[in-house]
Amino acid sequence: MTVLPDGVRHFPACLSPEEQRALLDDIRGVVQRAPLFTPRMPRTGKPMSVRMTNCGSLGWVTDKDRGYRYQATHPVTGAAWPPIPDRLTELWREYSDHPHPPEACLVNFYDETAKMGLHQDRDEETFDAPVLSISLGDACLFRIGEIERKGRTVPLRLESGDVLVLGGASRLRHHGVDRIYPGTSMLLKKEGRINLTLRRVTKPTR
Ligand code: MD3
Ligand code: FE
């Protein structure tokens, strides 16, 4: 059995097939209003293999000239992001253990060849809140490293309906997606994986 680092909580098969289907319908609504775009690496402009969109008051984007950032509008349409569906806000309430609502939900779509290199989530203004990740569709090989880039990593297979909460001492650990396992879920019409990442971006005002 794999022991996960402090602050990493994995809830396997947390969402029933019906709940996964309902979430997927919510996300289809989001993608209709805010189409998937191809993010590009800062400076090089190299496209990432994952396609993305967002919902919430702020969304994570990246391009060649302006790099990683959060902004209130879609980089292609210029429209405000659609709201975070209630079902997702509810999951945040249940699992985050955090008193303030999420501001950003990044929707990552992986086709069968997509991956995401080892990185830290550090574009937020505050790291007080955890990051909550929900997996839908094909399984993936996920990897959690240390806060320093070098060092040991722990592999973790994430399946459709799994919830992962990353907080506390682990909030700034490196992590990445090594590969997708095509054909391991029937949830989506085609092969691929969707990950929903709920985050707090700004310091709460009172
Ligand atoms: C582990 N996405 O978009 S977040 C990302 O499967 C991203 O698409 C992952 O990493 C994906 O930035 C899921 C998982 C995550 C987030 C923060 C962490 C894992 C973490 C912080 C520490 C350790
Ligand atoms: Fe990340």
CATH fold group of domain 8-199: Jelly Rolls (2.60.120)
**Which sequence spans correspond to the domains of the chain?**
8-199
Ligand nearest to the CA of 50: 1
Residues 6+ apart with CB under 8 A from 200: 98, 100, 102, 103, 104, 124, 126, 128, 129
Residue with tokens 């399946």: 159
Tell which one of 27, 195, 200, 201 to mutate to probe ligand 1, the residue whose CB is within 8 A of the most ligand atoms.
195
Q: Measured from the CB, is residue 121 less than 6 Å from ligand 1?
A: yes
**Threshold 0.95, pTM exceeds:** yes
> For residue 139, what is the enclosing H or E element?
strand 139-144
Question: pLDDT 10s per residue in the chain (206 long)?
Answer: 677 888 999 999 999 999 999 999 999 999 999 999 999 999 999 999 999 999 999 999 999 999 999 999 999 999 999 999 999 999 999 999 999 999 999 999 999 999 999 999 999 999 999 999 999 999 999 999 999 999 999 999 999 999 999 999 999 999 999 999 999 999 999 999 999 999 999 999 87
Question: Is the CB–ligand 1 distance for residue 166 below 6 Å?
Answer: yes
Q: Is 133 in the pocket of ligand 1 (CB under 6 A)?
A: yes
